[in-house]
Amino acid sequence: MPNKLRVILPVAFLVALFSGISSIPVAADEPPAAAEPGTDREQTTAEGEEEFSEARQEAIPVFNEGVAAIEAGDMPKALEKFQSASAIDPEFPDASRAAAAVAMELEDFQAAADAAENLVRLDPDNADAIGTAYFAELLLGDVDRLIPSARRLADVNPAVVSNEMLQHAQVLFDDNLLAGSRSLLELIIEKEPELAQAYFQLGLTCNMLGDMECAKQALGKFLEIAPDDPDAATAQSLLDYL
């Protein structure tokens, strides 16, 4: 995993993922009967209790062992327990959320990506899960998974496109992950078609990839949008050379 990518890892979404990780009570084997018709608790179980599937009831004690491991400062054990709980019940969002958070903390980005993707499956509008999947896949350099995650993240948080994502494309370029940089830049341009610097970076990236037509179009568009940009002279020189 490219070392330069480590410096871009944010912490805000980790805080969001870690918040709310606490022990979950196992539902009773025999939930209380529904209240009699006419009461304000008709067709409900006792207050504070929830009826879980067999898989959930089996997974919760394992999940709680993970919470205890966090409290004891044993993060590797916590990750193992949360992953086990998720394997027992793949529909258990708390287990996936906790596994993703702990895996990111441990810099186990493969585990984080897998857990976050499962959480996105369970909760497609969960911005924290989407962000976690994106950053984990970015840190892995997993372009095939990164671009769909980047698209989801751009949809739920458009502000990241012209800020973080543009920087990430440059870091991918610097780490010689040129295909990933190009794909990310093309997505950025799709979302922000007047973002001049994205065209400049795309021109440089396409040039390195040997796609001269792409490089010419991107550099030409950059000069059209920002003829007075500090990088304009560099773009024009490269364009003349091509």
Which position has the higher pLDDT, 24 or 208? 208
Q: What residue type is assigned to position 200 of the chain?
A: F
Rg (alpha carbons) of the chain, rounded to whole number: 24
Residues in the chain: 242
Task: Please tell me whether the overall predicted TM-score, pTM, comes out greater than 0.85 for this model.
Answer: no
Task: Give the pLDDT confidence score for residue 35 in this predicted structure.
Answer: 38
Give the residue-averaged pLDDT of 211-218: 95
Which phi and psi (to 5°) does residue 50 adopt?
A: -135, 145
pLDDT band for 121, please (50, 70, 90 cuts).
Answer: very high
Task: Give the pLDDT confidence score for residue 42 in this predicted structure.
Answer: 36
What whole-number percentage of the chain has pLDDT above 70? 79
pLDDT band for 188, please (50, 70, 90 cuts).
Answer: very high
pLDDT band for 202, please (50, 70, 90 cuts).
Answer: very high
Question: Which residues, in sequence order, are CB contacts of 213 under 8 Å at separation 6+?
Answer: none
Task: Give the pLDDT confidence score for residue 155 in this predicted structure.
Answer: 92
Sketch out the chain's domains with CATH numbers: 3-157 (1.25.40.10), 174-242 (1.25.40)
pLDDT band for 36, please (50, 70, 90 cuts).
Answer: very low
Task: Give the pLDDT confidence score for residue 142 in this predicted structure.
Answer: 83
Task: Give the pLDDT confidence score for residue 1 in this predicted structure.
Answer: 42
Looking from the CA of 13 toward its CB, the CA atoms found within 13 Å total 22
Q: Is pLDDT at 216 greater than 90 in this prediction?
A: yes
pLDDT band for 160, please (50, 70, 90 cuts).
Answer: confident
Which phi and psi (to 5°) does residue 35 adopt?
A: -65, 160
Residue 59: strand, helix, or coil? helix
Which position has the higher pLDDT, 164 or 206? 206
Mean pLDDT, the chain, whole residue set = 83
Task: Give the pLDDT confidence score for residue 24 in this predicted structure.
Answer: 67
Integer CA distances (angstroms), 97 to 17, 130, 151, in order: 6, 11, 21
Task: Give the pLDDT confidence score for residue 29 in this predicted structure.
Answer: 44
